[in-house]
Amino acid sequence: MSTADGVAVQLDPARQAALAAVADLLIPAAHGMPSAGDVVDARSVAFVLGARPDLATPLRAALADELAPTPAERLAVLEASRPDLLGVLHLVVVGGYYADDDVRVALGYPGQVARPVSAFDYPEYVDEGLLDRVLARGQVWRASSAPVARDM
């Protein structure tokens, strides 16, 4: 369980089971990769909802028992009547899947890696002259119509 702004973000067992079934349908096991149903568990859902707590309520709505009895029917109902909830469902499944360490290892993706940049290196487009027209033009801006508040 994770918290966001002090509010617990987790799914009840019935919704977690519904999520696993839908996740299996969205990302099935193939080519040595696990299915999303095997990977997207309470821990990964807590990770996603910890980063995006605004998704907790729509996710619960997308996984409500009364929507449909099977995962395929649930996806069809959401696609037809609530594409916003379908988008949330996709985001949570994909986010939880690709945040999994085993999935990233299987893909050969180490995660975000810091790459130092030397102050003496500059992009090739500077050498190619792609910015020359912009620099020659000089500063261009529009005055803002809104007053700027300044604290002194």
pLDDT in tens, 31-58: 999 999 999 999 999 999 999 999 999 9
- Maximum CA extent, the chain: 65
Convert the pLDDT of each residue in 57-80 to its tens digit.
999 999 999 989 899 999 999 999
**Is the pLDDT reported for residue 7 higher than 50?**
no
**Is the pLDDT reported for residue 150 higher than 70?**
no
**Is the pLDDT reported for residue 104 higher than 90?**
yes
pLDDT of residue 146: 62
DSSP secondary structure of 48-116: HHHH-GGGHHHHHHHT-TTS-SSHHHHHHHHHHH-HHHHHHHHHHHHHHHHT-HHHHHHHT--------
| CA atoms of 46 and 118, how far apart (whole Å) | 38
pTM for this entry: 0.70
